[in-house]
Amino acid sequence: MSKLKYAPTPPPEPVITGSLEPGPKKRGRKRTKKQYFTPDTDAAIKEYLASSNQEERDNIFARRIHYPFYKLAENLIHTFKFYYTEVDDLEDLKHEVICFLLEKLDYFKPEKGTKAFSYFSIVGKNYLILYNNTNYKKKKAKCDPTAADEDDGVLRQLGRDERKQDIKDFIDYFTEYTDKHMFTIFKKAKDRRVCDAINTLFKRRENLEIFNKKALYIYIREMTDVDTPVITKVTKILRKKYKELYSEYVETGYVKV
């Protein structure tokens, strides 16, 4: 499918098709938050993957998948503040994310039980982390490091010693391991949301302005919309895994991801 078919402009909302029956109406206060990744999106992705006809695939993507991918890209950019970009308009960045997600569609395996929203959220976020960090480094290389820190409120340590470099290398291993095994370690979706948020903070640790534990808990809670006890539970599990993997790293110099 040609990427040029989808210009960097907001796509129309998807046309719901198929035999999805609406559920019974619930009484009480109406929710104003509109879901963009719906059961029809999951159904459309399965239909897309099952088809070998490119024209049919294009039609399914344009009518039922493009808009959810657009909203997902938009939410990832603003939720995690991926604003170090080479483009002048964020619509162009959203378009790049959509193209990347489109390239990864055939790698998604719904038969394994993974939810499409979770899979593409992680894939899109990892793409933006790499994109964001690459552009930050380019920006910093073009100006005085102190000035870059003052402009962006980013605390950077220069001249790190060997011990700090080892920790940095290990955390890179740890985040890669966590991304790969998240669905094995955590069976519940809300636990994975917390794990994903914590792992994102690890990846963006050098850009963080907050180091207070309480503030970090509040930040994670806002990102995931889960209660503090869930965050505490997931943190304990990750802390245990962190210690196990660090012991492996000290003994071997690497972590088997």
Give pLDDT, residue 5: 45
Long-range contacts of 117-124, Cβ-Cβ distance < 8 Å, separation of 24 or more = 117/37, 117/41, 117/72, 118/183, 118/189, 118/192, 120/69, 120/72, 121/72, 121/76, 121/196, 122/179, 122/182, 122/196, 124/72, 124/73, 124/76, 124/97, 124/100
- 45 — pLDDT class (breaks 50, 70, 90): very high
User: Using an 8 Å Cβ cutoff, are 84 and 52 in contact?
Assistant: no
Instruction: Give the residue, 209 or 80, on which the prediction is more confident.
Output: 80
Give pLDDT, residue 177: 93
Give pLDDT, residue 137: 67
- 63 — pLDDT class (breaks 50, 70, 90): very high
Q: Give the chain's mean pLDDT.
A: 78
Task: Give percent of the chain with pLDDT exceeding 90.
Answer: 33
Give pLDDT, residue 2: 45
pTM for the full predicted model:
0.52
Query: Is residue 67 pLDDT above 70, yes or no?
Result: yes
Give pLDDT, residue 19: 47
Give tens-digit pLDDT for 105-163: 998 988 878 789 988 988 888 888 888 777 766 666 665 555 545 444 433 443 344 45
- 215 — pLDDT class (breaks 50, 70, 90): confident
